[in-house]
Amino acid sequence: MYSVATRKEHLFERVRAIYRKYKTPFVGIHIFNQPHLLVRSPELLKKILVKDFDKFINRNIATNESIDPISFHTLFASKDATWRNVRGKMTPVFTSGKIKLMLPLMKECAKDLNAYLTKCNGETVEFRKVTKKYSVDIISSCAFGINSNCLKNADSEIMKMATKLIDFDSFVRSISIFSFFFIPKFVNIFRLTFVDKTASDYLIDVFKGTIKEREEKKIVRNDLIDLLNHLRKNETVNDTYKFDDMKMAAQAISFFSAGNDTTSLTISFTLYELALNKEVQDRLRQEVRESFDEVGDFTYESVQGMKYLDWVLSEALRKYPLTTFLNRISVADYTFEETGLTLDKGVCVLVPVAGLHFDPEYFPDPEKFIPERFSDKNNIKPYTYMPFGEGPRNCIGQRFGLLVSKIALAYMIKDFAFEPTSATSIPIKFNPGSLFLQNKGGIHLKVVKI
Ligand code: HEM
C-alpha cells in the first residue's frame, strides 16, 4: 500500500492486483502495521456483510467526537449505537416515494445541463467538471434547499466548497483522508478532520440559514431539509438519539460529500463508455426517445421503465466501482466455520469490489463494456457485484444516486451525440491521489446536437 499512500498507484489497481495474485478465499495483508483480511470468497462475504453483520457493524474509520463532531455523526463514519440510531431515522427519508417527490427538483437541473450542452455544440467538453456542476446543483437543491446554479454561474461559491470538502488534489488532504482508513493513529495525533473544516463550516451556516427561513416563511419543498425537520419535530421522549442543528447538518454534509462525486463520476464514466461504444449509444438513444415521446416528458415511472438505460448504468458501475473496496472491522473474535480461521477483535476486513467486478469467472471479458450482462440480474452471482455495497450498511443513497444519474443521461442522450477526440484518454488512466475512482486529466468528449 506504500505505492498508494505515495500516490504512485491507485487503490483500484492495487486491490485488483492483490485479488488476482492470490486465488484463496481470503488473503491476510498488513497496511502500515494494521492487520487486514482481504476476503475473496462470495460465500464468506455474505457472512460478513449480511448474516453476521452484528459482528462487523462498523467501518474501520477513525472518528473522534471532540476533534471532528461532524464526521462522528455522519452515517458513513458513525459507529455502533450512534450508527443504528441515525440509520433508523434516515432510512424513511430514502424510500422511493420520498425520492419521487424530489424528481421535479432534479429535472430542473437536468434541463440546465441540456441547455449548457446546447451552448457547447460541436466543441470538446471536459465532462467531469460539467457533471460535477450538475450533481452539486442537485444535492444543493435537495439537501440544502438552495439553487447553487453552478451550471449557470462559473464562480459559484458552493462549487468551490464542494471541491474543497474532500479535496484529493491537495497532497496533505489526500494523505489525511488515507489516514482515516489506514493509519488511524495520525487522526488523533494531528487532529485531522475527514472533511475540510472551512467547507463544512460554510455548509453548516447555509443549512442553518435555510432551516430558519423555512420556519419563518413556512416554505415546503419536499426535500431533505423538510424531511430532517419533520424527523426532529416528531421526536419523542423515548428517542435515545435526538437531532440538534449540528447533527442534522452532519447528515446534509454527509450526503453532500457521499453523493456528489459518486454520481458525477458515474455519469462521466458512462458517457466515456457510450462515446467509445457507438452501437450502445445509438440503442440507448432509441430507447430514451421512444420513452420521452410516449409521455412527452420523463416521469419517475418512465425512467424506471427504461431497461437498457438500467443495464448501461449497471455495466458502467461494474467497470468503474467508485469505492474500490468496502471495509468493516470485527467487533469481537470471530471464527469462520467453513475454514476454521479465527479473526481477532479489531481486525479490518477489506472487500475487494474492484477485484470481483473484473473476475472473468463472474464477468467474462471483464474489460469489455457489455450492458447485456445485466439483462437477467439473476445470472449475477450474489456478492460479486457490489457498486453500492451490501447488507444493512449499504449505500443509503442508492435510489437517489441512480435516479440523478438516469435523469442526466436521459436528458443528454436524447439530444446529443458523444464522440471521442484526440483529447480523450484511451485507455483510461486513474488518478492515484483520489479515494474515489477518478481518471487522470478529465473526460474529454465532443458534443454534437442531433
Ligand atoms: C452512483 C452513486 C453512488 C455510489 C456508486 C455509491 C456507493 C456507495 C458505497 C459503495 C457505499 C459503502 C457501502 C458499504 O460499505 O456496504 C456507500 C455508502 C454510503 N452512501 Fe453512497 N453511493 C452513491 C451515491 C450516494 C448518494 C447520492 C448519497 C446521498 C444522497 C449517498 C450516501 C451514502 C451514505 C450516507 C453512505 C453510508 C451508509 C451507512 O454507513 O449507513 N451515496 N455509497
The one-letter amino acid at 363: F
User: Measuring CA to CA, which residue among 209, 407, 174, 373 is closest to residue 291?
Assistant: 407
The C-alpha atoms of residue 233 and residue 85 are separated, in whole angstroms, by 16
Helix (H, G, I), strand (E, B) or coil at 439: strand
- Which residue, judged by its Cα, is nearest atom 17 of ligand 1? 395
- Which residue, judged by its Cα, is nearest atom 43 of ligand 1? 395
User: Measuring CA to CA, which residue among 257, 251, 210 is closest to residue 228?
Assistant: 251
The C-alpha atoms of residue 351 and residue 331 are separated, in whole angstroms, by 17
Q: Looking at residue 371, what is its pLDDT?
A: 98
Helix (H, G, I), strand (E, B) or coil at 447: strand
Q: Which residue has the cell 475454514?
A: 339
The C-alpha atoms of residue 415 and residue 247 are separated, in whole angstroms, by 42
395 appears as a binding residue in the annotation: yes
User: Measuring CA to CA, which residue among 53, 20, 26, 55 is closest to residue 39?
Assistant: 26
What does the DSSP 8-state code read for residue 319?
Answer: H
- Which residue, judged by its Cα, is nearest atom 42 of ligand 1? 397
Q: Output the CA 254–ligand 1 centroid distance in Å.
A: 10
Q: Is the peptide bond before 427 cis (omega within 30 degrees of 0)?
A: yes
ipTM score here?
A: 0.99
* Cβ pair 383, 41 in contact under 8 A: no
Fold (CATH) for 2-449: Cytochrome p450 (1.10.630)
Task: Summarize pLDDT for 296-328 with one digit per residue, the tens.
Answer: 999 999 999 999 999 999 999 999 999 889 999
Q: Which residues contact 176 (CB under 8 A, 6 or more apart)?
A: 186, 190, 192, 193, 194
Q: Output the CA 314–ligand 1 centroid distance in Å.
A: 15
The one-letter amino acid at 185: K
Q: Which atom of ligand 1 is nearest to the CA of 392?
A: 41
Q: Which three cell numbers stand for residue 360?
A: 472473468
Mutate to test the pocket of ligand 1, among 265, 395, 403 (most ligand atoms within 8 A of CB): 395
Q: Looking at residue 423, what is its pLDDT?
A: 96
Q: Output the CA 135–ligand 1 centroid distance in Å.
A: 14
Question: Pocket residues for ligand 1 (CB within 6 Å)?
Answer: 75-76, 87, 254-255, 258-259, 262-263, 266, 317, 322-323, 326, 387-390, 393-397, 400-401, 405
Name the residue ranges covered by the structural domains of the chain: 2-449
Q: Output the CA 233–ligand 1 centroid distance in Å.
A: 26
Stretches where the chain sits below pLDDT 50 are none
Q: Which atom of ligand 1 is nearest to the CA of 265?
A: 1
Q: Which residues contact 356 (CB under 8 A, 6 or more apart)?
A: 19, 40, 42, 362, 383, 384, 385, 386
Mutate to test the pocket of ligand 1, among 99, 388, 400, 407 (most ligand atoms within 8 A of CB): 388
Q: Output the CA 328–ligand 1 centroid distance in Å.
A: 15
Please give the mean pLDDT across all residues of the chain.
Answer: 90
The C-alpha atoms of residue 24 and residue 21 are separated, in whole angstroms, by 9
Q: Looking at residue 1, what is its pLDDT?
A: 61
Q: Output the CA 124–ligand 1 centroid distance in Å.
A: 31
